[in-house]
């Protein structure tokens, strides 16, 4: 059975003016630290190469396109791929993707330890709104800049482990984890950018936001008997704070490692994937216990309908 050291490479703030090259240098520094600690896989955040640009309202398409990558790897990220290959470490990170036929996605990729891209995921649950919202303390325009992902929730056998990806808001939806759980997932890598403040409820408090993130990641892990790695982009980006709280969760839902700062910070844990078996063969043996005859609403109905 496979044992791997998995690292979460939390990134601190990336300012609007920061170049991709400067961010890649920081990602490589974390990769070097991960190598010294024996990591086999490093998980980076959502939209890891730039500031969280969906907070900015833009109309000019050239201005919008600046934030998107048209190929991966590209000249800015090739050093990261090369370094990961030299260190024999698999990586996964998020970026904004513009496809050759003009589609825009919030994407993440995962590589093997030879820096080959073995999996791609495009974010399905896009939060926020598509037009400038005067009621919010700040904007969250993911629905403006991205289309919902078109690839579904897939898994890949990578380095002997069944791995899947999700991105930020996806972690709050049990459907995300269950779709991968039904494919035997053993590790779910999730990058995120979560504002420290609720744009529509400013007095919500950071503790509650961190709690909801942890709750979602821990529940997803336990209910599908899988490791989950949730990695933040944190810190204050041009005056806008993003929360940290990166964690590595085991298949029992326990937290194995947790970031303590809102800066570039590496967390690491040894993951013995044999530990996924017990839950998958007992309480969450889907084949024996699921009752799909009662789950029809999950895929046939989107919003809640109150008829009583
Ligand atoms: N990036 C991302 O998906 N962030 C959301 C913020 C939700 S508030 C509009 C999240 O779920 O953390």
pLDDT tens for 162-171 read 999 999 999 9
Alpha carbons 32 and 299: distance in angstroms, whole number: 44
pTM score: 0.98
Q: What's the pLDDT at 67? A: 98
Is the pLDDT at 286 greater than 90? The verdict is yes
Q: What's the pLDDT at 1? A: 58
Q: Tell me what the mean pLDDT of segment 142-167 comes to.
A: 98
Question: Which residue among 123, 179, 186, 276 is the active-site one?
Answer: 123
Which pLDDT tens digit goes with each residue over 122-146? 999 999 999 999 999 999 999 999 9
Q: Across the chain, where does the E strand assignment appear?
A: 3-10, 41-43, 90-98, 104-111, 117-122, 155-158, 161-167, 187-192, 227-232, 235-237, 240-242, 247-249, 255-258, 265-272
Alpha carbons 301 and 87: distance in angstroms, whole number: 47
Is the pLDDT at 102 greater than 70? The verdict is yes
Of the chain, the percentage scoring pLDDT greater than 70 comes to 100
The secondary structure of residue 156, as a DSSP letter, is E
Average pLDDT of the chain, as a whole number:
98
Is the pLDDT at 52 greater than 90? The verdict is yes
Contact call for residues 237 and 278 (beta carbons, < 8 A): no
Q: Which atom of ligand 1 is nearest to the CA of 192?
A: 1
Q: What's the pLDDT at 180? A: 99
Contact call for residues 257 and 43 (beta carbons, < 8 A): no
Q: Which atom of ligand 1 is nearest to the CA of 125?
A: 3
Contacts of 235 (CB under 8 A, 6+ apart): 12, 13, 241, 242, 244, 262, 263
Is the pLDDT at 119 greater than 90? The verdict is yes
Give yes or no for residue 158 CB within 6 A of ligand 1.
Answer: no
Give yes or no for residue 168 CB within 6 A of ligand 1.
Answer: yes
Of 75, 76, 5, 97, nearest to 43 (Cα)? Answer: 5
Contact call for residues 247 and 258 (beta carbons, < 8 A): yes
Q: Tell me what the mean pLDDT of segment 174-180 comes to.
A: 98
Of 121, 114, 113, nearest to 93 (Cα)? Answer: 121
Q: Tell me what the mean pLDDT of segment 16-23 comes to.
A: 98
Q: Tell me what the mean pLDDT of segment 214-218 comes to.
A: 99
Q: Which atom of ligand 1 is nearest to the CA of 169?
A: 11
Specify whether 131 is catalytic.
Answer: no
Cα–ligand 1 centroid distance for 243 (angstroms) = 11
Give yes or no for residue 194 CB within 6 A of ligand 1.
Answer: yes
Is the pLDDT at 154 greater than 90? The verdict is yes
Cα–ligand 1 centroid distance for 198 (angstroms) = 9
Which pLDDT tens digit goes with each residue over 225-252? 999 999 999 999 999 999 999 999 999 9
């Amino acid at each position: 059975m496979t044992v791997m050291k998995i690292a979460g490479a939390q990134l601190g703030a990336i300012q609007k003016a920061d170049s991709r090259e400067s961010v890649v240098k920081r990602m490589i520094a974390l990769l070097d630290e991960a190598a010294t600690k024996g990591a086999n896989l490093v998980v980076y955040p959502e939209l890891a190469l730039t500031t969280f640009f969906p907070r900015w309202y833009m109309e000019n398409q050239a201005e919008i396109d600046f934030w998107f990558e048209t190929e991966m790897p590209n000249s800015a990220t090739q050093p990261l791929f090369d370094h990961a290959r030299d260190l024999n470490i698999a990586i996964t990170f998020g970026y904004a993707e513009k496809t050759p036929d003009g589609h825009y996605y919030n994407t993440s990729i995962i590589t093997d330890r030879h820096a080959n891209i073995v999996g791609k995921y495009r974010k399905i649950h896009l939060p926020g709104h598509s037009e400038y919202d005067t009621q919010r303390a700040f904007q969250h325009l993911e629905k403006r800049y991205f289309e919902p992902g078109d690839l579904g929730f897939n898994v890949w056998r990578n380095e002997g482990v069944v791995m899947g990806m999700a991105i930020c808001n996806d972690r709050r939806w049990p459907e995300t984890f269950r779709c991968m759980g039904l494919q035997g997932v053993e590790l779910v890598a999730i990058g995120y950018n979560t504002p420290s403040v609720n744009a529509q409820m400013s007095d919500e408090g950071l503790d509650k936001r961190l709690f909801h993130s942890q709750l979602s990641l821990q529940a997803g892990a336990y209910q599908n008997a899988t490791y989950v790695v949730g990695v933040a982009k944190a810190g204050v980006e041009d005056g806008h704070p993003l929360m940290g709280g990166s964690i590595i969760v085991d298949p029992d839902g326990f937290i194995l490692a947790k970031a303590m700062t809102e800066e570039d910070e590496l967390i690491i844990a040894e993951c013995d994937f044999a530990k996924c078996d017990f839950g998958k063969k007992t309480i969450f043996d889907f084949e024996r216990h699921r009752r799909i005859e009662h789950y029809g609403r999950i895929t046939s109905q989107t919003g809640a309908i109150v008829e009583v």
